[in-house]
Amino acid sequence: MVEHDFIIIGSGIGGLMTAAALSRDGKKVLVLEQLAFTGGRYTEIPYKGYEVTSGAWTSMGIKSHIGRFCEEVGAKVDYITLRDKGEKHSPASLFKVKFNNQQEIDFFRPLPGTGIDNESYFQVLMNILAKQTEITPETSAREVIEAVTKDETIHSILNHMIGTASGLTIDTLPASELKTVIGDVLKTGGKFGFAVGGTKNIIQALERVILAHGGAIRTCVGVKSLIIEDNIAKGVELESGNNLYAKNIIHNGGAHQLVKLAKSKNLPNAYVKYINHLKPVECAAIILGLDRPVTSGCAITIPPDAERAAGIFPPTFFDPGVAPPGKHMIDVFIPLQSHNIKKEMDLAWNDLYALFPQLDSIINMKMEMVFYKDWPGAESAQTFGQIGDQRLDPLSPVDNLYLVGMDCKGSGVAGDLVPVTAHLCLTRIKEKYKELKVPSITF
Amino acid sequence: MIAIDREKCCGCNYCAIMCAQEALFYQDYDMELDQNKCELCGACVYYCPSGAIQMIRSD
């Protein structure tokens, strides 16, 4: 019996955004999540009094793609912004650069010794955005950056910024994606923000929209396979052995899981081959609880001397409530360059001790997280052959089966790509259900 | 008992973060389980995104 208009497999932010928009428009949705918690890599798990991220740092606030999508579907989220932190933090403190010699330079100050008179890091980014060189999908970020400046310190700063935003490097991130990343980050300006309580409050806001409109969300429910007959998706077979039927299925469980659930024989060979050859983002994080703050008055610290630590984010700078009273937290993002995890993490720890020599005496909570194998940072890195329209269309080769999430068409800063894919997914669904509104935002 | 498939384990540490008994820990970048601390609640199975943890009958 068909009980649902849509079954959504996976409660990552893409699944929940799509489900919220469909619920709001009167569709009966059921979200299935195999884990005990919703939100995937976009939430926090409580640990020793801290709200430890499952992956994402922040949505970047109300002006991000995620912020605007949530507002459009009525998911109310409170943010603490750079502007809320006081005028001196807005927006010059979006980034600070910190060298191992302890020198710190903020966003709007000239970079000393770089040979570029009176040009700040901010101005260099603006010059990259304005650079009118011919860009093809094969042009690397390095090519555009080198056309603006030959300075190696700035190359290193940008390499770390790119690592922070995408898990890639100036050689593996295409130039077109670099321009999107810079543009999207700068657009947030002084409104760059952090959801009060953490990213899980964005997840909870979306869930409230789904539940308020009669939708349902079930955790600890694994899907074993998709029921596909004559190239039409009819429902799902659960790990428990039960079957659930729906008019449409939306998959938010990642490209490789899609092949596993749909089975290769039900998908075109070229489609399966594309998915099997996807280059993932393999990364790690070090989350630290501290007795006192180590970064000063900024959203993201970029350490150009570091070998592995790409960027450092202090959630407690925005919201002290995500740590025990009087304590502080930093999230350190580490793009992996090999599968020798011990070596990679040792290099990252060396970076941290060089940047913060007093670190050992103030750590009260330590959590290392590695994201690779079946749970990478993202299955589809935003690298050559995998950007923009080269990614998967939300309209799958199987009728009534749609996709949403980091593998789908679009560009954006890390998770902020996801609402672009949710918007396109809803646009594809609207071709069948004309009454759907689809968020009116553009990206 | 709880069985960990280290080939599947990616090291995200979600299981260690949520384990109320602190029975799971990432030692030398391999997930370890202290069977003496483990109360077999099975919650870790539902916090593992890579399907590396299973509850199996030991009889």
Residue A214 covered by a domain:
yes
Under an 8 A CB cutoff, do A374 and B10 touch? yes
- A328 and A389 in a single domain? The answer is no
Whether the predicted pLDDT of A431 surpasses 90: yes
Q: Which H or E element spans position A30? A: strand A29-32
Q: Which of A54, A345, A376 sits opposite B14 (nearest CB)?
A: A54
Extract the residue ranges of chain B whose pLDDT is less than 50: none
Q: Is A51 left (phi over 0), alpha (psi -120 to 50) or beta?
A: beta
Rounded to whole angstroms, how far apart are CA atoms A308 and A298? 20
Residue A53 covered by a domain:
yes
Mutate which of B6, B15, B21, B29 to test chain A, going by most A C-beta atoms within 10 A? B29
Under an 8 A CB cutoff, do B47 and A40 touch? no
Q: Is the pTM of this model over 0.90?
A: yes
- A129 and A271 in a single domain? The answer is no
A201-217 confidence digits (pLDDT tens): 999 999 999 999 999 99
Is the ipTM, as predicted for this complex, more than 0.90?
Answer: yes
3-state helix, strand, coil in chain A (%, to 5): 35, 25, 40
**DSSP 8-state code for residue A168:** -
Tell me what the mean pLDDT of segment A407-435 comes to.
96
Whether the predicted pLDDT of A114 surpasses 60: no
- A308 and A419 in a single domain? The answer is no
For the domain that residue B39 is a member of, what is the CATH number? 3.30.70.20
Question: Which residues on chain A are in Cβ contact (under 8 Å) with B48?
Answer: 35
Tell me what the mean pLDDT of segment A197-202 comes to.
97
- A111 and A184 in a single domain? The answer is yes
State the average pLDDT for chain A. Answer: 94
- A367 and A391 in a single domain? The answer is no
**Other CB atoms within 10 A of residue B6 CB:** 10
Question: Which residues on chain A are in Cβ contact (under 8 Å) with B17?
Answer: 45, 47, 52, 367
- A287 and A218 in a single domain? The answer is no
Range of the structural domain that residue B25 is part of: 2-55
The amino acid at A31: V
B13 to chain A: closest CA residue: A369
Q: Is A341 helix (H, G, I), strand (E, B) or coil?
A: helix
- A117 and A256 in a single domain? The answer is no
CB A169 within 8 A of CB A310: no
- A164 and A121 in a single domain? The answer is yes
Rounded to whole angstroms, how far apart are CA atoms A258 and A263? 8
Q: How many domains does chain B have?
A: 1
Rounded to whole angstroms, how far apart are CA atoms A54 and A184? 23
A54 to chain B: closest CA residue: B14
pLDDT for position A115? 53
**% of chain A at pLDDT higher than 70:** 97
Concatenated DSSP letters of A170-194: TTTSBHHHHHHHHHHHHHHGGG-EE
**% of chain A at pLDDT higher than 90:** 82
Greater pLDDT, A122 or A183: A183
Whether the predicted pLDDT of A1 surpasses 80: no
Tokens of A437: 């509104």
Concatenated DSSP letters of A230-263: TTEEEEEEETTS-EEEEEEEEE-S-HHHHHHHH-
Of A9-13, A132-136, A364-368, the range with the lowest mean pLDDT is A132-136
For the domain that residue A414 is a member of, what is the CATH number? 3.50.50.60
Q: How many domains does chain A have?
A: 2
Among A371, A395, A422, the domain-final residue is A371
- A316 and A261 in a single domain? The answer is no
Whether the predicted pLDDT of A116 surpasses 70: no
Mutate which of A48, A346, A365, A369 to test chain B, going by most B C-beta atoms within 10 A? A369
Among A371, A395, A410, the domain-final residue is A371
- A262 and A241 in a single domain? The answer is yes
A143-180 confidence digits (pLDDT tens): 999 988 888 888 999 999 999 999 999 999 999 999 99
Question: Which residues on chain A are in Cβ contact (under 8 Å) with B47?
Answer: 35-37, 45
**CB pairs below 8 Å between A and B: how many?**
60
Residue A28 covered by a domain:
yes
Q: Rounded to a whole number, what is the distance in Å from the CA of B50 to chain A's nearest CA? A: 5
Residue A93 covered by a domain:
yes
Angstrom CA distances, B18 to A40, A314, A330, stand at 14, 22, 19
| Bridge pairing between strands A50-53 and A44-47 | antiparallel
Range of the structural domain that residue A159 is part of: 86-191+283-371
Residue A21 covered by a domain:
yes
- A215 and A125 in a single domain? The answer is no
Q: Band the pLDDT of A344: cuts 50, 70, 90.
A: very high
pLDDT for position A22? 98
Tell me what the mean pLDDT of segment A409-425 comes to.
96
- A152 and A93 in a single domain? The answer is yes
pLDDT for position A338? 97
Among A354, A371, A388, the domain-final residue is A371
